Amino acid sequence: MPHLQSSTDNLGFAQVDIDRLRRQGVPEVVYGAGKTAEQITAILSSLREHGQMPALATRVDAEKAARVAEVLGGDFTYFPVARIGRIGPARAPDGIGTVVVAAAGTSDLPVAEEAAVTAETLGNEVTRLFDVGVAGLHRLLACADQLAGASVVVAVAGMEGALASVIGGLVSCPVIAVPTSVGYGAAFGGVSALLAMLNSCAAGVSVVNIDNGFGAGFLAHRINHMGLGR
């Protein structure tokens, strides 16, 4: 049983977990949606002050990011497609292999980049395969070598969500399926892709929530570091 004692930095509006890096190997991640730029800045500043880096803030729009950068300066890096802000540099890759992030279409890139930047920040070598959806299956098959060399694949797709099943039938590693909210009316904001991925006939496919690129990137990191003690 791990030691569960925790300590926090109480900012009034937030209690920042300043012990998570020791407990879990990764600092607390800030969910930026619904928070002001000032709140995001204060939380990231607390994490930096207590050595909890690299620290991520997800779902941060460009306007908020600009205001955060004014205060945090050169320590802060913003990834506009992923909508992620980061304090401190990414860790050097030290996983057991490569994380492949495969996106079905260009419209899926924000979610795919959220997964890729998360995994890279936490110390994983990431290969991006973009616009490889099943509507042009030859584009995916042209990437067979990269898929075969992966230790884990993150498959990001909206519409009917078929990409995860196809990849699951090609590779021997775990596949993390990420349904996106991309699609026309009957896609129901990603529910169609979510249900299709949950019902995948390919073995070894797990599924995260709609548009949850961060969750997929984090899980890919965990898989890519199994047995390494970090």
Contact 44, 51 (CB under 8 A): no
- Identify whether residues 125 and 215 lie together within a single domain: yes
Q: Which of 67, 87, 107 is the last residue of a domain?
A: 87
Does residue 142 lie within any of the structural domains? yes
The pLDDT-based confidence of 9 (bands split at 50, 70, 90) is: confident
Render pLDDT for 77-107 as a digit per residue (tens, 0 to 9): 999 999 999 999 999 999 999 999 999 999 9
**pLDDT value for 228:** 72
Whether 1 has a pLDDT exceeding 60, the answer reads no
CA distances from 122 to 16, 50, 54, 130, 178 (A): 19, 18, 8, 21, 19
- Identify whether residues 107 and 61 lie together within a single domain: no
CATH of the domain at 147: 3.40.50.1970
Contacts 24+ apart (CB under 8 A), 17-26: 18/46, 18/47, 18/50, 18/52, 20/52, 21/51, 21/52, 25/225, 25/230, 26/122, 26/218, 26/221
54 preceded by cis ω (within 30°)?
Answer: yes
- Identify whether residues 119 and 180 lie together within a single domain: yes
Does residue 50 lie within any of the structural domains? yes
Whether 74 has a pLDDT exceeding 90, the answer reads no
Does residue 1 lie within any of the structural domains? no
- Identify whether residues 18 and 116 lie together within a single domain: no
Average pLDDT on 177-194 reads 95
- Identify whether residues 127 and 155 lie together within a single domain: yes
Average pLDDT on 119-127 reads 97
Render pLDDT for 50-69 as a digit per residue (tens, 0 to 9): 999 999 999 999 999 999 99
- Identify whether residues 219 and 106 lie together within a single domain: yes
Average pLDDT on 192-216 reads 96
**pLDDT value for 6:** 62
- Domain residues for 167? 98-224
- What percentage of the chain has pLDDT greater than the value 70? 97
Does residue 230 lie within any of the structural domains? no
- Identify whether residues 105 and 219 lie together within a single domain: yes
- Identify whether residues 180 and 69 lie together within a single domain: no
- Identify whether residues 73 and 121 lie together within a single domain: no
The pLDDT-based confidence of 193 (bands split at 50, 70, 90) is: very high
Residue of higher predicted confidence among 4 and 105: 105
- Identify whether residues 68 and 160 lie together within a single domain: no
Whether 40 has a pLDDT exceeding 60, the answer reads yes
Average pLDDT on 155-159 reads 96
Whether 227 has a pLDDT exceeding 70, the answer reads yes
Does residue 92 lie within any of the structural domains? no
- Identify whether residues 121 and 73 lie together within a single domain: no
Does residue 18 lie within any of the structural domains? yes
Average pLDDT on 125-143 reads 93
What's the total number of domains in the chain?
A: 2
- Identify whether residues 196 and 118 lie together within a single domain: yes
Q: Which of 33, 66, 87 is the last residue of a domain?
A: 87
